[in-house]
Structure formats: structure tokens, C-alpha cells
Amino acid sequence: MLAATGVSKSYDGTRVLDDVTFSVNAGEVVALLGPNGAGKTTLLSIIAGLRTGDAGTIVIGGFNLASDRAEAISQLAIAPQDTGVQLLLSARQNLEFYGRLAGLSRNDVAAEIDRVAAGLELGPFLDKTTSTLSGGQRRRVHAACAIVARPRLLLLDEPTVGADLEMRGQLLGVVRELVAQGTAVVYTTHYLPEVEALDARVVMLEHGQILINAPLQLLLEEHATSFVELTFDGAAPSVQLPGLSVVRDDTILRAEGPGVASRTAELITALGPDAQRLRGLEVLRPNLDTAYLSLTGQRFTAEVN
């Protein structure tokens, strides 16, 4: 459904995207991950035709964005990172507009509004002017405006930022439903549990380059492992325990290996007098976060490394 090949982009001499190649099939979610500044939003903007890459091609539903822009664009809908709704109109009027703009008939738009409103629980404020809604409610309408267009390719740029847990769960449910119906989804987020909930393929960007491009299950099977992470007041001490790999990272001591969680007490004992400086302890179970840790040696964070 989407094929991005060799996409590069620079701003003022700084390479923001460097030869990025990935694809999304119909009925698949690709979670586009990476720290702030990794190039995720720039990549989405290029796919949506809002910006032009310096190099590379984007093909959407078989249409080349450069040569068949109108056809390519008509396949997609985007919910940009910043909330955008028409504040003088009601939520329903917003949805009607974007549905009609996507070429849906009046009846189809009405049906889609019912479906999206049910999925995201827009009902209580569907006919209220959006300027009177809370930030969270507007965020729902914002995502709904993209979904109501019933696109073949849906681009969601951090759709759950500022959302409560309830909305997060509802949105993930709606996305899963769309994917089951064949929609291709590109989903950027900083919340790794959402990626696991969507069973997405992971495309990890760092400094504009693809670091990881693999199905979630494969990543978890091959790289996810348990860690014990100790945080110290001051530099982490040097510790060695048979059967465990222990590495120091500034104030953090990170231990990995078979049965590491059950050997936590042994680890603390091995600290000796340095145990006095221990300020935090975290046991990380195998998940996408620990897979990322195994691959990069760093915890996944929204901030630029």
C-alpha cells in the first residue's frame, strides 16, 4: 500500500532523513518509532505530500506521489501531530466535512460518523461546537476526522499525546478494527505498550536513518530479555557476577542474563558499601523496551540521544 524508497531530506545542511526505505502492506500497522528529532514527522509529511524529499520515491496504492500526486493523495488521510479541528463548527460538522471531502456520499458519511463516534465515544459532544470541548475531546475529534475519511492508508502522528487511558484504549481498538478491514496504518508514538497492543511492525528511526525494521514478534523473540537496572547517587560502581552481563552507564548499573530478576538480592549484596548510594531499582520484563535496550544499549526515550 505504501512504499517509501531512499527518502532523504536535509534542512539547512542538516540531514534529517537519510536514505529511508520501508513499506506498509494493506492490513498492516507500522509503528514509526524514534526519539524527538529522529525524523518521524518529517517522514510522515513527505508521505502525505506536505513536504518534498530531496531524494527518493513514495508510492501509495500504486501511484507515485511525484507524478500522480492527486491519485496518490486520495488514498490517504493524516492526523497530524498538532490537534486541528474547525473551532467554529460542531464535531459532527467537522466529521461531515472531512468525510465529504474524501468523496464519501452523504449516507456513507453518516454511517462512518456513527461508527467512529461509537469507537471513540464522541456521542456526548458530537453536536457541540468544538471550541467548547476539552483538549482531550478535541484530540478525539482530531483523530476521528482522519478515520472518517475511510482511507486506504492512515497516517497517525502521535495520536495519543495528551490522551487519557480511556481514549488511548478506544483509539487502539478503532485502529485494530481498521487494520482488520485492510487499512494500512503508519503510527508514530513514544508509548511502546501501544506498539505491542497493535502488534505492529516496528520501524525505528534514529538520526534520520532506519535502525530497526522488523515485526514486533520477531523483535521480542530475538532481542527482548529481562534486565535489572540500579540507579546510584553518583557514578555506578563496577560489579561482576558469574553468569550475568553487568554494564555501567553513568549513574546506572544494568544487569542482564539468565534468571537476572531472581538474582537481584545477590546483585545488591555484591555492591558492598556502594549499596549506600543506591537510589533506585527497576526490574525490566521482556518487552519492546528491553528489546530496544538489547539492540542499542540505551533505554527508549522521547529525547534525542
Partner 1 sequence: MGSATLRAILMNEVRVLRSNRALPVMLLGMPLIIIAMLRSTMGAALADVGITGRSGAEQVVPGQALLFGFFMVSFLANSFFREHGWGTWDRLRTSRASRADILVGKAIPWVITSAVQILGLLAVGFALFDLDVPSASGIAAIVLTGLVWAIFVGGFALAVSARLNSMPAVSAVANLGAMFFSAVGGAIVPSGQLPGWATAVGPFTPTYWAMKSFNEVFLESGSLADALPAIAMLALFAVASGAYAWFRFDFDQPKRSWV
Q: Which stretch binds partner 1 (CB under 8 A): 32-40, 96-104, 185-193, 234-242?
A: 96-104
Contact status, residue 101 vs residue 89, Cβ threshold 8 Å: no
Q: Which of 9, 42, 98, 223 is in the footprint of partner 1 by CB under 8 A?
A: 98
- Say how many residues touch partner 1, by CB under 8 A: 29
- Environment class of 111 (CB within 10 Å of its CB; exposed 0-12, middle 13-18, buried 19+): middle
- Least CB distance to partner 1 at residue 66 (A): 15
User: Which helix (H) or strand (E) is 179 found in, with range?
Assistant: helix 165-180
Contact status, residue 191 vs residue 35, Cβ threshold 8 Å: no
Q: Which stretch binds partner 1 (CB under 8 A): 2-10, 70-78, 225-233, 267-275?
A: 70-78
When asked if residue 160 is in the footprint of partner 1 (CB under 8 A), the reply is no
Reading the block at residue 141, the C-alpha cell is 475529534
Nearer to partner 1, 35 or 99 (CB): 99
Residue 84 CA to residue 105 CA, distance in Å, equals 23
When asked if residue 63 is in the footprint of partner 1 (CB under 8 A), the reply is no
The number of CA neighbours under 13 Å toward the Cβ of 247 is 9
What does the DSSP assignment read for 247-285?
A: EEETTEEEEESTTTGGGHHHHHHHHGGGGGGEEEEEEEP
Residue 31 CA to residue 190 CA, distance in Å, equals 10
When asked if residue 148 is in the footprint of partner 1 (CB under 8 A), the reply is no
Q: Which stretch binds partner 1 (CB under 8 A): 14-22, 84-92, 250-258, 294-302?
A: 84-92
Q: Which of 20, 33, 60, 78 is in the footprint of partner 1 by CB under 8 A?
A: 78
When asked if residue 296 is in the footprint of partner 1 (CB under 8 A), the reply is no
When asked if residue 203 is in the footprint of partner 1 (CB under 8 A), the reply is no
Nearer to partner 1, 85 or 204 (CB): 85
Q: Which stretch binds partner 1 (CB under 8 A): 25-33, 94-102, 203-211, 227-235?
A: 94-102
DSSP assigned state of 28: -
Contact status, residue 182 vs residue 27, Cβ threshold 8 Å: yes
Residue 203 CA to residue 219 CA, distance in Å, equals 11
Of 163, 129, 165, the C-alpha closest to 143 is 163
Q: Which of 77, 113, 178, 253 is in the footprint of partner 1 by CB under 8 A?
A: 77
Nearer to partner 1, 29 or 76 (CB): 76
Q: Which stretch binds partner 1 (CB under 8 A): 7-15, 58-66, 141-149, 263-271?
A: 141-149
Residue 90 CA to residue 7 CA, distance in Å, equals 38
Q: Which of 5, 26, 27, 100 is in the footprint of partner 1 by CB under 8 A?
A: 100
Q: Which of 49, 56, 169, 257 is in the footprint of partner 1 by CB under 8 A?
A: 49
Residue 116 CA to residue 173 CA, distance in Å, equals 11
- The alpha carbon of 302 is separated from its chain's Cα centroid by a whole number of angstroms, namely 11
- Least CB distance to partner 1 at residue 84 (A): 3
Residue 24 CA to residue 58 CA, distance in Å, equals 12
When asked if residue 102 is in the footprint of partner 1 (CB under 8 A), the reply is yes
Residues that bind partner 1 (CB under 8 A): 48-51, 70, 73-74, 76-78, 80, 82-89, 93, 97-98, 100-103, 145-146, 149
